[in-house]
């Protein structure tokens, strides 16, 4: 299967279409989640002309495009830009949350021209992570392992399906818990702590197509452990990852069956090490900065000549 390789390649340095005209201005209507972040020149990421990216709303009437981060405006229609809009201005709907955590999509119908999200069919594809092809093979050293299974959770909700699966799984195998109500996991020590484990439970908070988050990319792969995933289908994961780089809960009829398999791998170093063979030619991306997402919008605006209004976000995103 080569789909996941192709997807990773589309995220590297690309050459844009012929660049005509003056510098494009992109207005960030809000900082994502209200958190200011460092902005960078887009030419650092892609072979394109730099855009003027700003969060200063005085540029609204002069902006070529406006990025609207869904979670910052979804609770109040008045949070959306209210002033007159020039015919050439493009609005970009930006969202990295799943449909289950994206309320009030309805009042945004017929407003946006481009979608920017983790979905592969977005106009501007902004996944949580990807694989990069190495220019030459590497000898990846598996971090020393002294522990078996870890899981880090920030939002503890016993009614959620992933917690129900965890409650059943822990009957058959020991799981060290980090985060809310459990052991602390300092950000600056996350990799060093999680790298001690052979397996990490990369359990998503909702099940939706392409919704594969930092739980896999940063917590598991970034720490050099094998992810045990609960999310979309195995087929969906294999569009982003080699099939032998992760363990999917759907491969086992019961949590007990999964626990037995993990215990077998724990006792069989040769079989366990096969989950790292893909790292000879591939490596997971580093943590994705907000600036990269903004520059993908800059690139898309320079490469796309025509746009259309998106009639219903609900119909597409659900």
The domain segmentation of the chain, as residue ranges, is 3-127+288-317, 132-284
Instruction: Please give the average per-residue pLDDT across 19-47, as a whole number.
Output: 90
- To the nearest 10°, report the CA torsion of 162, 167, 168, 171: 150
Residue 140 and residue 82: Cα distance in Å, rounded?
A: 53
Residue 258 and residue 247: Cα distance in Å, rounded?
A: 9
Q: Which pTM was predicted?
A: 0.91
Fold type of domain 132-284: Rossmann fold (3.40.50)
pLDDT value at residue 307: 76
pLDDT value at residue 15: 35
The percentage of residues in the chain with a pLDDT greater than 90, rounded to a whole number, is 83
Instruction: Please give the average per-residue pLDDT across 227-238, as a whole number.
Output: 98
Residue 11 has pLDDT above 50, yes or no: no
pLDDT in tens, 156-187: 888 889 999 999 999 999 999 999 889 999 99
Residues marked active site are found at 97
Instruction: Please give the average per-residue pLDDT across 32-40, as a whole number.
Output: 94
pLDDT in tens, 146-155: 999 999 998 8
- CA-to-CA separations, 8 to 107, 130, 131, in angstroms, rounded: 34, 5, 5
pLDDT value at residue 21: 55
- Residue 266 pLDDT level (bands cut at 50, 70, 90): very high
pLDDT value at residue 310: 85
Tell which wins on pLDDT, 18 or 65: 65
pLDDT in tens, 80-125: 999 889 999 999 999 999 999 999 999 899 999 999 999 999 999 9
Residue 226 and residue 249: Cα distance in Å, rounded?
A: 13
- CA-to-CA separations, 55 to 66, 139, 219, 298, in angstroms, rounded: 10, 44, 30, 14
Tell which wins on pLDDT, 133 or 18: 133
Residue 250 has pLDDT above 60, yes or no: yes
pLDDT value at residue 159: 81
Residue 20 has pLDDT above 60, yes or no: no
- Residue 12 pLDDT level (bands cut at 50, 70, 90): very low
- CA-to-CA separations, 12 to 6, 122, 131, 281, 292, in angstroms, rounded: 11, 17, 10, 16, 11
pLDDT value at residue 298: 98
pLDDT value at residue 83: 84
Residue 221 has pLDDT above 60, yes or no: yes
Q: Which two tokens stand for residue 135?
A: 């220019």
């Amino acid at each position: 299967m080569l789909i996941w390789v192709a997807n990773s390649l589309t995220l590297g340095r690309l050459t844009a279409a012929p660049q005509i005209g003056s510098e494009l201005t992109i207005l960030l209507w809000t900082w994502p989640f209200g958190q200011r972040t460092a902005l960078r020149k887009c030419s650092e990421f892609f072979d394109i002309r730099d855009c003027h990216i700003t969060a200063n709303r005085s540029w609204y009437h002069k902006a070529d495009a406006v990025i609207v981060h869904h979670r910052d405006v979804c609770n109040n229609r008045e949070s959306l830009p209210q002033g007159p809009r020039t015919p050439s201005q493009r609005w970009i709907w930006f969202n990295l949350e799943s449909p289950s955590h994206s309320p009030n999509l309805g009042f945004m119908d017929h407003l946006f021209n481009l979608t920017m999200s983790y979905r592969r069919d977005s106009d501007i594809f902004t996944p949580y992570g990807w694989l990069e092809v190495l220019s030459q093979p590497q000898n990846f050293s598996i971090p020393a392992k002294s522990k078996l299974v870890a899981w880090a959770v920030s939002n503890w909700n016993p009614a959620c399906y992933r917690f129900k699966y965890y409650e059943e799984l822990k009957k058959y195998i020991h799981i060290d818990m980090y985060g809310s109500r459990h052991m602390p996991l300092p950000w600056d020590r996350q990799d060093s702590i999680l790298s001690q484990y052979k397996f990490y439970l990369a359990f998503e908070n909702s099940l939706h197509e392409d919704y594969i988050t930092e739980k896999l990319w940063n917590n598991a792969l970034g720490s050099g452990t094998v992810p045990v995933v609960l999310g979309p289908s195995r087929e969906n994961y294999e569009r982003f990852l080699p099939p032998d780089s992760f363990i999917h809960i759907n491969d086992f009829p019961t949590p007990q069956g999964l626990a037995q398999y993990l215990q077998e791998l724990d006792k069989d170093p040769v079989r366990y090490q096969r989950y790292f063979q893909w790292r000879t030619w591939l490596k997971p991306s580093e943590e994705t900065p907000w600036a990269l997402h903004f520059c993908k919008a800059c690139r898309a605006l320079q490469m796309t000549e025509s746009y259309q209004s998106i009639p219903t976000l609900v119909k597409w995103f659900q």
